[in-house]
């Protein structure tokens, strides 16, 4: 029974460094999320990847991210807990249990003049990245989530989901989301060739697929490559930055009970770490 309780606990595993009030605070914060990744995946990485970055971690912490209205969580509620510090209901994003918006870490960072960025292998309107940006009561409202992206000053956005910015028109301007972003000073990339060839001197959206990115095994670039591109711009801010990087498809390999898919995505995520 003790073993079962321990395994139940470590499924809510996260890694980080604890800072006391007397120690220096970090200038930059990078949040790395392996979607659906529990301690079993960490063990798999350590056992199968000779250069696994998890071998270098000295500290292990535990965070309970279950939904407020049920024990078993899902990405919207758990990512909201991570991004805001508030537990919430199943499928809620950036909202408390009563449906009131709660402040997320990106919004706090902007108050401190820090840059912010997202790098994911799913659509940027998917539950985990959306929890760092949007405030909705249903994670499936991806068009609404895309519209809320337009109102945020996020410096770097990399992932999929281009269709959610092309398929709607705002009633006020009659233009698509990409044009609105251009008017706000963003560079837009939809081609991987153009994106990787660019020096990235301006804030940007790189939405490289209509919905989710291809599987790691089917891409000619890695999550590490995308993360490096994000850091090249974010690191220019002298005040620091907050970056969230998600290995989004680790979870999907597990849903499919596909060991090759899951371990391939885990390896891709380890490269980003």
Ranges of beta strands (E only) in the chain are 13-14, 29-34, 61-62, 115-123, 156-160, 187-189, 204-207, 241-247
The catalytically annotated residue of 52, 67, 75, 78 is 75
Residue for token pair 């269709």: 163
Cβ contact 215:262 at 8 Å: no
Cβ–Cβ < 8 Å for 75, 139: yes
DSSP letters for 46-112: HHH-TT-GGGG----EE-----TT-SS--HHHHHHHHHHS----TT-BSB-TTS-B---HHHHHHHT
First to last CA, the chain: 34
For residue 250, which of 262, 259, 267, 258 has the smallest C-alpha distance?
262
Tell me the C-alpha to C-alpha distance, in Å, between residue 29 and each of 171, 240, 244. 37, 8, 8
Phi–psi pair at 170, nearest 5 degrees: -80, 145
Collapsing DSSP to helix, strand or coil, 261 comes out as helix
Torsion angle of C-alpha atoms 68, 74, 80, 81, degrees rounded to 10: 60
Instruction: Compute the distance between CA of residue 115 and CA of residue 245 in angstroms, rounded to an integer.
Output: 14
Has 75 been annotated as catalytic?
yes
Active site residues: 75
């Amino acid at each position: 029974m003790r073993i079962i309780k321990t395994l139940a606990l470590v499924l809510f595993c996260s890694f980080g460094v604890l800072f006391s009030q007397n120690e220096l605070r970090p200038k930059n914060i990078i949040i790395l999320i392996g979607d659906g990744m529990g301690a079993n995946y960490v063990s798999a990485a350590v056992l199968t990847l000779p250069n696994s970055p998890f071998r270098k971690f000295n500290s292990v912490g535990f965070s309970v991210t279950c939904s407020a209205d049920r024990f078993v969580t899902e990405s919207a509620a758990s990512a909201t807990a991570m991004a805001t510090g508030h537990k919430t209901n199943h499928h809620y994003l950036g909202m408390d249990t009563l449906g009131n918006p709660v402040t997320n870490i990106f919004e706090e960072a902007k108050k401190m003049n820090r840059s912010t960025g997202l790098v994911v292998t799913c659509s940027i309107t998917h539950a985990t990245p959306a929890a760092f940006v949007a405030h909705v009561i249903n994670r499936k409202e991806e068009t609404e989530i895309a519209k809320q992206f337009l109102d945020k000053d996020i410096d770097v956005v990399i992932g999929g989901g281009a269709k959610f910015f092309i398929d709607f028109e705002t009633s006020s301007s009659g233009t698509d989301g990409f044009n609105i972003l251009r008017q706000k000073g963003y560079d837009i990339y939809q081609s991987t060739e153009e994106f990787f060839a660019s020096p990235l001197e301006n804030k940007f959206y790189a939405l490289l697929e209509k919905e989710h990115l291809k599987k790691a095994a089917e891409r000619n670039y890695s999550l590490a490559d995308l993360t490096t591109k994000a850091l090249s711009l974010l690191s220019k801010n002298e005040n620091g930055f907050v970056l969230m990087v998600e290995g989004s498809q680790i979870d999907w390999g597990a849903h499919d009970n596909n060991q090759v898919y899951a371990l391939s995505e885990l390896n891709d995520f380890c490269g980003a770490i």
